[in-house]
Amino acid sequence: MTAHPHHPHHPPADWPVDTDVEPNAVRRWIDPRIVGVIAIGGFVGGLARYELVTAWAAATTGFPWSTFAVNTTGAFALALLVIVTTDVLSDSRYLRPLFGTGFCGAFTTFSSVAVAVDELAGHGHAATAAGYAAASLAAGAAAATAGVLLGRAIPSRVDELSGEPGVEVKT
């Protein structure tokens, strides 16, 4: 192994990132179908966010309600999705990447919260900025908790509908 030709202070280019993993191991298990559903979900989630925020634009001096609503509903949806895809629809290979990583990942962004807080503070509205940051964190945590609780109730409801406890739902 030789030093990297352009960066002699870096490790050699042929060193694996993780010495316990073969250098090409990751390339073998990345499924292009999963990448495809993530891209589709990301496109739809980003478009949904754009349309909502454009239709419900906030003034630079006011509380950014559209971003707050998007991120709060996204926290709820993601928490619900994780529980449902883990406990109810565990055989579904594409739901979590499509809706979780793709849709919710593009629909919600922490960076938009940071930008809104910075803009509010920059325009002399520090109290609104602080209130927005605190409300975003509290509402996101509450929405995620509600999503988890609702998701945990679904398997018992499926059991009630089937008449047999422990019946596994297949997709």
2 vs 148, residue with greater confidence: 148
Q: Which of 121, 83, 111, 115 is nearest to 99 (CA)?
A: 83
pLDDT bin (cut points 50, 70, 90) of residue 18 is low
Q: Per the domain annotation, does 9 fall within a domain?
A: no
Residue 110: its pLDDT value, please? Answer: 84
**pTM for the whole structure:** 0.71
Phi-psi region of 10 (alpha: psi -120 to 50; beta: other; left: phi over 0): beta
Q: What DSSP state is assigned to residue 168?
A: P
Rounded Cα gap, residues 158 and 171, in angstroms? 13
Is the residue at 99 inside a domain? yes
Instruction: Please indicate, yes or no, if residue 18 is contained in any of the structural domains.
Output: no
Q: Give the pLDDT score at 171.
A: 47
| Overall number of domains in the chain | 1
* Residue 51 resides in a domain: yes
Determine, yes or no, domain membership for 106.
Answer: yes
CA distances (Å), origin 43, targets 40, 98, 123, 142: 5, 10, 32, 27
- At 103 the pLDDT is 94
- 89: containing domain: 25-162
40 found inside a domain: yes
Which residue matches tokens 């979900």? 41
**Position 5 in a domain:** no
Residue 79: which pLDDT band, with cuts at 50, 70 and 90?
very high
Least confident of 10-24, 41-55, 109-123, 145-159: 10-24
pLDDT exceeds 70 at position 30: yes
Q: What confidence tens digit (pLDDT) does each residue in 98-109 have?
A: 999 999 999 998
Instruction: Give the whole-angstrom CA distance, residue 76 versus residue 89.
Output: 18
Instruction: Report if residue 156 sits inside a domain.
Output: yes
